Chain A
Amino acid sequence: MKKKVLSVLLSAAMAASILAGCGQAAAPAAPAADAGSDASEAEAEAPAAEAETPAADTAASGEGGKVLNIAAWNEEFKTRLTDHYPGYEVVDGTHGKIGDVTVNWLITPNENNAYQDRLDEILLGQESASQDDKLDMFLVEADYALKYVDTEYAASVEGLGINLDETKDQYQYTKDIMTDSNGVLKGVSWQGCPGVMIYQRAVAKEVFGTDEPEEIQKLFADWNKFNESADKLKEKGYLTTASVADTWRVYQNNVSKPFVDGTTIQIDDNIKKWAEDSKDLYDRKCTTTVQQWTDDWNKGFYPEGKVFCYFGPAWLIDFCMAADTEGSIAHDGGWAATEGPQGFFWGGTWICGCEGTDNADLVADIMRKMTMDPAVMKDIVLKDNDFVNNRPVMEELANDTSYQNAVLGGQNALKMFCAGADKIDMSNLTAYDQGLLGDYQTSMMGWMNGNFASYEDALEDFYKSAEVRYPELTH
Chain B
Amino acid sequence: MKNSKVTRVNRWGYIFLIPFFLTYVIFQVIPLCSTIYNSLFENYRSGLKQIGPNFVGFANFAKLLGTIDVWNYFENTLFMWIGGFIPQIVVSLLLAYWFSDPSLRLKFQQFFKTVIYMPNLIMASAFAMLFFTLFADQGPINSILISMGILKEPFKFFASVTASRVIVMFMNFLMWFGNTTILLLAGMLGIDSALYEAAEVDGATSSQVFFRITLPILRPILLYVLVTSLIGGLQMYDVPQILTNGKGDPAKSTLTVIMYLNQHLTSKNFGMGGALSVIMFFITGVLSIVIFNLNKRKD
In the complex formed, the residue of B with least CB distance to A447 is B251
B266 pairs with A113, CB closer than 8 A: yes
The answer to whether B249 and A442 have CB atoms under 8 Å apart is yes
Contact between B51 and A124, CB atoms less than 8 A apart: no
Bound: A296/B245 CA distance, A: 16
Residues in B neighbouring A469, C-beta threshold 8 A: 263, 266-267
Interface-centre pick from A289, A464, A470, A472 (highest chain B CB count, 10 A): A472
| A2 at interface, CB cutoff 8 A | yes
| Selected contact of A451 from candidates B22, B161, B247, CB within 8 Å | B161
Chain A residues contacting B33 (CB-CB under 8 Å) are 2
Q: How far is the CB of A440 from chain B (nearest CB, A)?
A: 12
Is B113 close to A, CB under 8 A?
Answer: no
Using known A-B contacts A9-B26, A295-B136, A295-B138, determine if residue A153 contacts B48 with beta carbons closer than 8 Å. yes
Measured in the bound complex, the distance between the Cα atoms of B12 and A66 in whole Å is 57
Indicate if B137 sits at the interface (CB-CB under 8 A): yes
Is A9's CB under 8 angstroms from B136's CB?
no
Say yes or no: A296 contacts B138, CB within 8 Å: yes
Q: List 12 A-B contacts (CB under 8 A).
A: A2-B33, A5-B22, A6-B25, A6-B30, A9-B22, A291-B245, A296-B138, A449-B156, A449-B160, A465-B252, A468-B260, A469-B267
Residues of B within 8 A of A449 (CB): 156, 159-160, 250
| A299, B208: Cα distance in complex, Å | 56
Chain A residues with CB under 8 A of B253: 451
Interchain CB contact under 8 A, B267 and A468: yes
Interface string of A415-457 (1 = CB under 8 A from B): 0000000000000000100000000001001100111100000
- What string of 1s and 0s marks CB contacts (under 8 Å) between B116-138 and chain A? 00000000000000000100111
Chain A, range 32-77, C-beta contacts under 8 Å to B: none
Q: How far is the CA of A3 from the CA of B139 in the complex (A)?
A: 56
A475 within 8 A of B: no
B233 at the interface (CB under 8 A from A): no
A290 & B272 in contact (Cβ 8 Å cutoff): no
Known: A295-B138, A451-B159. A461 touches B44 (CB 8 A): no
Q: Is the CB of A299 within 8 A of B251?
A: no
Which one of B29, B156, B245, B264 contacts A2 once the chains associate, using CB atoms below 8 Å?
Answer: B29
Contacts of A288 in B (CB 8 A): 137
* Chain A residue total in the interface (Cβ 8 A): 40
Q: Is B200 located at the chain interface by the 8 A CB criterion?
A: no
Q: Which residues of B contact A151 (CB under 8 A)?
A: 47-49
In the bound complex, what is the Cα–Cα distance between A452 and B161 (angstroms)? 11
> Could you tell me if A472 and B51 are in contact, using CB atoms closer than 8 angstroms?
yes
Q: Which residue in B44, B156, B246, B252 is a CB contact (below 8 Å) of A471?
A: B44
B262-281 interface code vs A (CB 8 A; 1 in, 0 out)? 01101111001000000000
Asked if residues B263 and A299 are in contact (CB atoms below 8 Å), the reply is no
Min distance, Cβ B66 to any Cβ of chain A, angstroms: 13
Query: How far apart are the CA atoms of A452 and B250 in the complex, in Å?
Result: 9
A401 interface contact, C-beta 8 A: no
Are the CB atoms of A451 and B251 closer together than 8 Å? Answer: yes
- Residue-wise interface mask of A (1-30) relative to B, using a CB-CB cutoff of 8 A (1 in contact, 0 not): 010011001000000000000000000010
Complex partner residue of B30 from A2, A290, A470, CB under 8 angstroms: A2
Q: Are A112 and B136 in contact (CB under 8 A)?
A: no
Q: Are A295 and B251 in contact (CB under 8 A)?
A: no
Q: How far is the CA of A151 from the CA of B44 in the complex (A)?
A: 17
Q: Do A124 and B48 form a contact, CB below 8 Å, given A9-B22, A299-B138, A468-B264? A: yes
Give the chain B neighbours of A299 by CB distance below 8 A.
138
Residue A461 contacts which of B25, B161, B245, B252 (CB distance < 8 angstroms)?
Answer: B252
Complex-state Cα separation, A270 to B33, whole angstroms:
48
CB-CB < 8 A to A113: which residues of B?
Answer: 266
By a CB distance below 8 angstroms, the chain A residues around B139 are 295-296
Contact partner, B137, options A148, A296, A445, A471, Cβ 8 Å:
A296
Residues of B within 8 A of A289 (CB): 156, 159
Contact of B46 with A by CB under 8 A? yes
| Chain B: CB-nearest residue to A33 | B49
- Confirm or deny: A147 has a beta carbon within 8 angstroms of a beta carbon on chain B: yes
Kindly list chain A residues whose C-beta atoms are within 8 Å of the C-beta of B268: 120
The answer on a CB contact under 8 Å between B46 and A148 is: no
Contact B267 A446 (CB under 8 A): no
Bound CA–CA A468/B33 (angstroms): 23
Residue pair B251, A446 in contact (C-beta under 8 Å): yes
Contact check, B269 vs A471: say whether CB atoms are below 8 A apart: yes
Q: State whether A295 and B51 are in contact (beta carbons under 8 Å apart), knowing that A6-B26, A9-B22, A461-B252 are contacts in the complex.
A: no
Instruction: Please give the distance in Å from B271's CB to the nearest CB on chain A.
Output: 8
Does residue A354 face the partner (Cβ distance < 8 Å to B)? no
A299 to B161 Cα, complex, angstroms: 25
Bound Cα distance from A446 to B26, whole angstroms: 44
User: Residue B101 at the A interface, CB < 8 A?
Assistant: no
B219 CB-CB contact with A under 8 Å: no
Q: Check A461/B48 contact, CB under 8 A, given A9-B26, A288-B137, A295-B139.
A: no
B212 beta carbon closer than 8 Å to chain A: no
Cβ of A182 under 8 Å from chain B: no
Contacts of A163 in B (CB 8 A): none
Encoded as 1 (CB less than 8 Å from any B CB) or 0, chain A from 282 to 301 comes to 00000011110011100100
Q: Is the pair A470, B266 in contact by a Cβ cutoff of 8 Å?
A: no
Q: Is A329 an interface residue (CB 8 A)?
A: no
